[in-house]
Structure 1
Amino acid sequence: MLNRIKDVFSILAALALSAGAVHAQFSDGTKVGIATGKGLNTDRSGVFWSSLTESSNVIGDFYIDSLWHEGSVKLNAPMAQFGGMESDSLAGITVRYNVLNDELEVLASKNDIRVIKASYLKSFETKNNGNPQRFISIRSLIPSTGLKGICEVLSSGKLTLVKHYKPKITKPNYNPGFGTGQKSTIVRLDSDYYIVSNGKPEKFNASKKAVLAVMGDKEKEVEAYLNENKVGLKSDLDLKSVFNFYNKM
């Protein structure tokens, strides 16, 4: 474990020295920080932030999964480590993803949490109760998109199905004159499904009709699979099941 922590710290220190010159957009978490008066915690491109982004008076759901899971990380480009070696990967680390702040939190030790900003991330994987989950930068998957953040790859193949995570932010509406309303900014986790085919994304609203439409070349086989297995298309597992079935044909 000590060696893993040392490796993480080596990457963090090396990334901090690799400052770039391109200006990055603020994350939603930074915007919330500005709006709630906490101050400007700017997301400077090329700088690896080693501490968590603070969000004042913000409550709600920030994480894809608030629990910590063992994982591995793929960076956008190799980064120099101490000793002159370069690597674009980290493995055997414990992570969780903060959707609001758009950053991957790394549990370096019991009381020490570091972060990898989304601009450095290409993808990461976690193991949830032994089940692997793969997440990828939406811009790595779809370079021309105006979307940002992370999406989960539910199925890969002719039709790649991804779930794009985003924060839904409700601003404070407190009225001091009447003592009513909410003083805090409320964050809820939101998501959309996208189908990527030939590098082109299309938003997908899950339903049997929509599934059969996009899988028209195998409509009979897919419909039989849905009926025989009583797939309700109400969950990620249902969608993953039918898309994996189609992609393997």
Structure 2
Amino acid sequence: MKQLLVFLGITFLGYTGAMAQMTFHSAYEIKKAVELLDFNRRHSGDISKFLTEANINGSPFLNDEFIEGSVFTTSKTQFVGVPLRYNIYNDQIEFQLGENPVQALAAPETIEMVQYGEYTFEYAPFTNAKKIKRGFFIIEEKGNATLYSKPQLIFENAKEPAAYQDAVPARFLKRPDEYYIRVGKEPAMLMAKKKDLEEVFPDHKDEISGFIKKNKVKPNDQELLKELVQFYNSL
């Protein structure tokens, strides 16, 4: 009997999880990927070709190959079956359908969420040099407080040959991810220093400070940052 109750409990949890997923998706008008071309045209005013640099080493992309996914808009439209990739350097979500040129999603402020492969992106506000900007972030932990990661890379110009040194081609170099925390509707804040871990949370200061010290949370440790955000969301 006990085993039966455990089985029924697991089944119920799976059912409610599936129902929640269905409810989320049913809030959107689902359209085929090809209709994204028209959506993009209407928001950008034009379809421009994507420029590539064949002589640059490295890659500006999180994933070089396109991965099929979905695009959710703020007007509650979901475009399904869209081949997607993220351009780290340009901070753009790109897509390509058939023989059409590669395009970046136009008017990203109309994009609520992008999902493909293991990634879920949000286009969110964040603070940068005391100014509020917007960009794409990968969701690592979602709740009242949300943990984002943001892939990083730099571009180095080509170097001419010099004495005892060969020429060096231009290249993209990957750098460690940056982590941001967003609480409620406030702009996301970069976790650059230890003090940022406490300053980002508007309340429960003592509990947060104690958790950070006890668990030795660092601003570049993704797993510990997840635990910190989970802890705050549980208070």
Q: Which bin holds the TM-score, normalised by the shorter protein?
A: 0.5 to 0.7
Match of 1:25 in 2: none
The residue identity in structure 1 corresponding to 2:116 is: T
Cα distance in 2, alignment partners of residues 146 and 233 from structure 1: 21
2:221 aligned with 1:235: yes
Q: Pick from 114, 119, 132: which aligns with 1:124?
A: 114
Cα distance in 2, alignment partners of residues 224 and 240 from structure 1: 16
Cα distance in 2, alignment partners of residues 223 and 146 from structure 1: 26
Match of 2:234 in 1: 248
| Structure 1 unaligned spans of 5+ | 1-5, 21-44, 79-86
Cα distance in 1, alignment partners of residues 181 and 55 from structure 2: 36
Q: Pick from 127, 133, 137: which aligns with 2:123?
A: 137
Match of 1:97 in 2: 86
Q: Offset of 1:245 from its aligned partner?
A: 2.1
Q: What TM-score does the superposition give when structure 1 sets the normalisation length?
A: 0.59
Closer/same/farther in 2, CA of residues 7 and 159 from structure 1, 3 Å limit = closer
Contact 2:124 2:188 in 1 (8 A): no
Match of 1:62 in 2: 60
Q: Pick from 179, 196, 203: which aligns with 2:190?
A: 203
Contact 2:190 2:196 in 1 (8 A): no
Match of 1:53 in 2: 51
Aligned residues: 200
Contact 2:192 2:219 in 1 (8 A): no
Please identify the structure whose Cα radius of gyration is greater. Answer: 2
Closer/same/farther in 2, CA of residues 8 and 114 from structure 1, 3 Å limit = farther
Closer/same/farther in 2, CA of residues 238 and 125 from structure 1, 3 Å limit = farther
> Does the residue aligned with 2:36 lie in a helix, a strand or coil?
helix
> Does the residue aligned with 2:51 lie in a helix, a strand or coil?
coil
> Does the residue aligned with 1:58 lie in a helix, a strand or coil?
coil
Contact 2:137 2:150 in 1 (8 A): yes
Identity %: 19
Q: Which whole-Å deviations, capped at 9, do the CAs of 1:163-194 have from their partners, x for residues lacking one?
A: 33454111111236766231223343564333
Q: Offset of 1:124 from its aligned partner?
A: 0.6
Q: Offset of 1:56 from its aligned partner?
A: 3.5
> Does the residue aligned with 1:175 lie in a helix, a strand or coil?
coil
Closer/same/farther in 2, CA of residues 232 and 199 from structure 1, 3 Å limit = closer
| Structure 2 unaligned spans of 5+ | 1-30
2:35 aligned with 1:10: yes
Match of 2:70 in 1: 72
Q: Offset of 1:90 from its aligned partner?
A: 0.9
Bigger shift: 227-236 or 175-184?
Answer: 227-236
Cα distance in 1, alignment partners of residues 64 and 166 from structure 2: 30
Contact 1:68 1:94 in 2 (8 A): yes
Closer/same/farther in 2, CA of residues 69 and 238 from structure 1, 3 Å limit = farther
Closer/same/farther in 2, CA of residues 226 and 152 from structure 1, 3 Å limit = same
Question: What is the alpha-carbon root mean square deviation over aligned residues?
Answer: 4.0
Q: Offset of 1:199 from its aligned partner?
A: 2.1
Q: Offset of 1:212 from its aligned partner?
A: 4.4
Closer/same/farther in 2, CA of residues 67 and 10 from structure 1, 3 Å limit = closer
